[in-house]
Amino acid sequence: MSLERLAEHRALWQKKPLLQDVYAPWFEALLAEVPAGGRALEVGAGPGFLAPFAQARGGSRRLVSVDVVPAPWNAVSADAQRLPFVSGAFDAVLALDVLHHLSEPARFFEESVRVLKPGGRIAVVEPWVTPFSYPIYKWLHEETCRSGLDHWRPVTSGDGKEPFEGDAGIFTQLMKRTGEGQWRALGLHPPRRRLVNCMAYVLTLGFQKGTLLPRPLAPLMLALDRWTAPLSPLLALRAVVVWERR
């Protein structure tokens, strides 16, 4: 992903406030894992949407946003797998749609554990594959959605990897194939997971021009996503997952 593309997303974000409506529950889920007065690191900040959202919500949280692509609206340019911060600097590490782009997810967890204080949390929102979401990610999404990947080395590594290269199915595979002992070996307690239905987001058409969802109907569709939560094993497109540092 280039700086130009990030700038395009920022411009569309402003012109299409419906996106802000549907992203808000994901942002709130991430920020809920930051203690009052705590310091959080947002990795893969990209277009830089979470920081202004947090600022608008007020409170005493402090958020440092970083992305591998240098951008003037983010605080630091850094790879989520090689963080330039001292150990124990943060109370939480937050990420939205980041892990399925990483060439070595284990490095992300190792680095996150290193920069977290004891008891600190990693909170992520990632694509989740279900019978409903699979065809969307497989045929209607710009990324691939494959099975049988090495979930710890899923995409191209090295200088040839593009920042936006990823696989929408990899996070589901990583979660299902990683046991409690492996998480503990990484310095983490086993995660807690909540699947999230995202029909409202699908109808917005994401970061494309136009929408199938009139903004006045957005609250109703977001409520429908919540009401159908018992069906999330079949319908979910996202998962909110939280780990605590041991």
Could you report the per-residue pLDDT of 183-211, keeping only the tens digit for each?
999 999 999 999 999 999 999 999 999 99
pLDDT tens digits along 65-99: 999 999 999 999 999 999 999 999 999 999 999 99
Cα–Cα distance list, 83 to 159, 181, 187 (Å): 17, 25, 17
Mean pLDDT of 46-51: 97
List the chain domain ranges. 3-244
Between 236 and 165, residue with greater pLDDT:
236
pLDDT score at 28: 97
DSSP string computed for 158-189: STT--TT--BTTHHHHHHHH--HHHHHHTTBP
R_g of the chain, CA atoms, integer Å: 17
Output the pTM of the full model: 0.95
Confidence category of residue 156, pLDDT binned at 50, 70, 90: low
The SS3 of residue 69 is coil
CB 102 within 8 A of CB 50: no
What distance in Å separates the CA atoms of residue 173 and residue 4, rounded to the nearest whole number? 32
Q: Is 136 exposed, middle or buried (0-12, 13-18, 19+ CB in 10 A)?
A: middle
**Which band of pLDDT confidence, cut at 50, 70 and 90, is reported for residue 119?**
very high
Identify the band that residue 157 occupies on the pLDDT scale cut at 50, 70 and 90: low
| Token output for 234 | 């079949």
* Mean pLDDT calculated for residue range 4-23: 96
Average per-residue pLDDT for the chain:
94
The domain defined by 3-244 folds into Rossmann fold (3.40.50)
